Structure 1
Amino acid sequence: MDETVKIPHYKLFINPMDLRELKRDVWIDAPIPAQLTVEGKKLEIDLSYRGSHIRKFLKKSYQVSFYKPKVYRGAKQIHLNAEYKDTSFIRNKLSFDFFADIGSLVPLSHHVFITLNGRAEGVYLEIESVDENFLKRRNLPDGAIFYAVDGDANFSLMSDLDKETKKSLELGYEKKWGISSDDYFLQELIFKINTISRADFEKEIIKYINVEKYLRWVAGIIFTANYDGFVHNYALYRNGETGLFEVIPWDYDATWGRDVNGKVMEADYVPIEGFNTLTARILDVAIFRKQYRNLLEEIMNQQFTVEYLSPKVEGLLQSIRPYVLQDPYKKEQINDFDKELEVILKFIEERKAYLKRKMNNLE
C-alpha cells in the first residue's frame, strides 16, 4: 500500500479450506477462524458474514469477533461494512458524524482498506459494535441494549411485516446486552406506548423514554432521509440509572439522496412527521411537537447547511479516493464516485427546501 494514504490497511488471512466453508453458504452465521493484522499487530479472530440482503452482493461485509486477545482497542467485536451500494462509500459515516453533531449517541466509525490473503478487497467502513463496551467507552451507566432486527421494531402492537397483532411485545428486537429481567422493561415500553391514554401521554411517557433525545434521533432520520430509520436500523439503550430508553442509529448508507439500491431518492420521500407509533404519539402532544419544530429549525440553521457539511463531505471523499482506485469492485466507477459530492450537496439543498415548506405541519 502507498504510505501516503491516510486510512488503515487491514490484512485478513484465512485458511483456504475455511474460506471455502465461508463461501459455501452466505446465510450461515457460524464464524470461521481467521487472522487480522493491523499496524503490524496480529490478532486471532472469528469471522462471519453480516447483514441480510447485502450478503448477496459480490463484495461481502463482515463481523469480526476478537479471539486472542478477547478485547482489542476497547472492543470485543467490530463490523466491517462493504458499503457496496453506496457510490460514495461515505453516507454511513457522514450520517453517524451528523447524528453526533446534533447530540445523539452513535457508534464510532472510520474507513479502512482490506486485503484478503494478499488480494485487495477494497474500501470498508469499520463500525463500532453497540454493546457493553460501547457504554464503557463513553462512561455511560450500564443498561440493556436491544437491536432492532426487522420492521417489527415499530413501537406498535401490530406487526409491520404481516399487519396482524404481534404474538410477542419483543418482536423485532434481539437483546445484545443485559439480563433476563431487562426483557420486561422492553415489553413494558411497547405496552405503555400503545395503551397510555391521550390525556395522560405527555406526563406518563417521560417515565419510559428520554423524549428530548428521542426527538434528536427523529431529527437525524429526517435530515438524512433514512426511509427505514423509524422501524429498523437502530438500537435501544435503557440507561440503568435513569431507567429511560434512548435510541442509537445504525446502518445509514441509504441516505443523503440515495435509497437502499443506490438509486437517487427524491428529497420529499421521507415525511417531516416521520412514521412509527411512538413518533406519531409524541408529535400528537403540543409541547413535544413545538420542541421538535424548534429543534429542526436550530439544526437547519447550524448543522444542516451546505456551508457546514460541504467541507466534511469533501474531506471524507478525498481521504478515500486513492483507495477507491484500488478497490477491485469499484475502481471502474471512479467517475461516478467523483460526482457524489454534487449529488449529496444537491440533496441537502433540496431536502432543506422541502422541510422549510412543511414546517407549518408542526404548528
Structure 2
Amino acid sequence: MISIQNRITALVKLGDFLGQFSIEKVEKRDNIEHNELFFEGFLHQIKIAQESNSWFTKNNILFALNSISKSLTYNSLYVFVESVNLNIISSKKVAVIMAGNIPLVGFHDFLSVLISGHSVLVKQSSNDKHLLPFLAKYLEHIEENFKGKITFTEEKLTDFDAVIATGSDNTARYFEFYFKNKPNIIRKSRNSVAIITGKETEQDFIKLSDDVFQYFGLGCRSVSKLYVPKDYNFDMFFAGMYSKKDMIHNAKYANNYDYNKAVYLMSLYDLLENGFLMIKEDKSYSSPIATIFYEYYENEIDLKIKLHQDKEKIQCIVAKDFIENEVGFGQTQSPKLTDYADGVNTLEFLTKI
C-alpha cells in the first residue's frame, strides 16, 4: 500500500500541475514534473471537454481546475486527513458514480478514495468524461504505485466493496435499491440559498453574483433561491447582478433565458427581470436556468426553523451573520476539502468499510 505521505506528495504535485491552468493565465512552467508529457495533452482535453458540453466553457473549466489546485497543498491535505486514522485501513475497491453538471464535480470523491488508501472504480457522466482520466494518468506517472488502483468503466459496475453515488432524486431512489447491500453514500439533488436581511451592500451582491452565475448556476452550491424580508426592494440586488450581464452572450444560456421567460409570461406569472436574469416568487428550491426563486419571510426565527427542517434539500446557506455554518457572499464555489457534500464525512465513511 502507498504510504499516506506518498499519497499526499503525489496529490500536491497534481495540484502544482493544475496550477498552470487559471482564468488569468495558462502558462507552462519549467519546474512541473512530467510537463513535457502532459501539458499540451491536457490543453487538448480541455478543448475536447468544451466541444463535448457547451455548458463547459473554457472559463468554467479553468475555474474548476484552479479551485482544485488551490486545495491540493500539503497544509490543506494534512488538515483534510487529520481527523481520521488512515493507517489502519485495509484497501478496498470503492465505486464512485459521478454527476456531470459542472467540470470535475466528482473530483472530491475520487481524491477521498485515493487518499484513504483504497482503489477507485469510476463511472463518469457522459457530460464530463474527458478531464479526470487524463489527470489520473498524470497521478500514475507521479506515483507509480497508483497504477492498478484507478479504473474507469462505462459498463455495469461489478466487483466492488462500497459505493459513493451522486445523482438526481430519481436516480438516487434507484441507487438506494441497487446498492442496498453495500456500504454506500447516496447523494440526491440539493440547492443553495441566500438570506437577504436588507443590511447588505452592493458589494455583497456583486459577490453573490458569483454564487449565482458560476457554472451557469448548475452546481449544487449555486444559489437558486433567495429569502428576503417582506416588501423588499430588489434594486440593489439587480445592481449587484449586473456585473454578470455578459452571461446572455452564451447561446445556450440565452436560449434557456428566452424559453423560461416565454413559459412564465404565457402562464401569467409575475416576474422581475433585467434582460439576463429573472426572479420569481416560488416556494421551490430548484429554479430553472436564468431564474432565481425568492420567498418572503416575516421573522428570522421562523426562517431559521424552516431552513433546519429543509436541511436535506439545502447544500449551502449564504448569509452575513445570520445562522451557524453559513457561507460568506461569493464563497460557495470555493469549498475547502473539509466542506463535505451533504455534510457527510466521506473520509470517515471510507475508514469504516
**TM-score normalised to structure 1 length:** 0.26
Structure with the higher strand share, 1 or 2: 1
Larger helix proportion of the pair: 2
TM-score (norm 2): 0.26
